[in-house]
Amino acid sequence: MSLSTHAGRYAPSPSGDLHVGNLRTALLAWLFARGSGRRFVLRVEDIDTQRSSAEAARRQCEDLEALGLRHDGAVLYQHDRFPAYEEALDTLRRRGLLYECYCSRRDIREAARAPHTPPGMYPGTCRDLGEEERAERRRRLRENGRVPALRLRAQAREWSVTDILYGHVSGPVDDVIVRRGGSGAVDWAYNLAVVVDDAYQGIDQVVRGDDLLMSAPAQAYLAHELGFPQPTYAHVPLVLNEEGRRLAKRDGAVTLRELGQQGMSPREVLHLLAESLGLPPKDSPDALLPHFDPARIPREPWIWRTPPAPGRTCP
């Protein structure tokens, strides 16, 4: 099957080693892309400079390679993409779709408790301030060595996306932050960066965890306002620990390297991930492709239980 100009992607944040939940989502993203004749591209989402590291990015790429999840073309690093984000910001500014936000996190938390404000939504505190009040709030921030955030002035209250697993999904559109405020250094927001980079890489299929399902409408709306094509989504079930919480370091050996220290090879980890998806244990992602059917993906979270080390039995 020849690859199209369209692509799917995996886009981890380099804040540490990938755990089995991350690796399972990466495998699904690869299978969705390859199974539909798309390219599979890799992007390192390292705009959060406080949490990101080049070493973590290198290790993540090595782990994906060890599982056989090879990507097409060079890895895209978001720290190289700041001019593109500035260009997108200029597009929104010229259309009158930006406004400054002077709220602190505490301000937003308190305002969100107000009646008629949907949970997690920005209540629009700074949206319609007069010029004098804006100037005064800007001055106060400047005295503390800070700059305001920039928000999208959304023109729609709701937007819809198509999800391969969930069907037609509609959700509220927020005045999302597109550039964060703070100490004065330019701090790009995830919602802008992910939309601009997906368009740049030709990504028309986004596969990621289902905890991000309700962020898709706002991101798709932002893509629309920037004149970008809207991707199709596939929000896949997460991997949880035995207590039903998101997987974390406290749950034992959860990364490829930790499992390797317990004696599991990357091939055996791939077998485990395949079996969690109802697929036969094959030695490569390519060998899994003939058996992959998106309609048969389990819809419930996979509960992770660290396999016993070789030579031991479960208690």
Least Cα distance to 147 among 190, 177, 112 occurs for 177
Q: Is 314 annotated as a binding residue?
A: no
- Can you tell me which residue has the tokens 């886009």? 11
Q: Is 24 annotated as a binding residue?
A: no
Q: Is 208 annotated as a binding residue?
A: yes
Q: Is 77 annotated as a binding residue?
A: no
Phi, psi of 207 (to 5 degrees): -110, 125
DSSP 268-309: HHHHHHHHHTT----SSHHHHGGG--GGGS--SPEEP-PPPP
Q: Is 282 annotated as a binding residue?
A: no
Q: Is 61 annotated as a binding residue?
A: no
Q: Is 99 annotated as a binding residue?
A: no
Q: Is 101 annotated as a binding residue?
A: yes
Angle made by CA atoms 262, 267, 272, in degrees to the nearest 5: 75
Q: Is 122 annotated as a binding residue?
A: yes
Phi, psi of 115 (to 5 degrees): -60, 150
SS3 percent helix, strand, coil of the chain, rounded to 5, is: 40, 20, 45
**Binding site as annotated, residues for ATP:** 249
**Binding site as annotated, residues:** 9-13, 45, 101, 103, 122, 126, 190, 208, 249
**Binding site as annotated, residues for L-glutamate:** 9-13, 45, 190, 208
**Binding site as annotated, residues for Zn(2+):** 101, 103, 122, 126
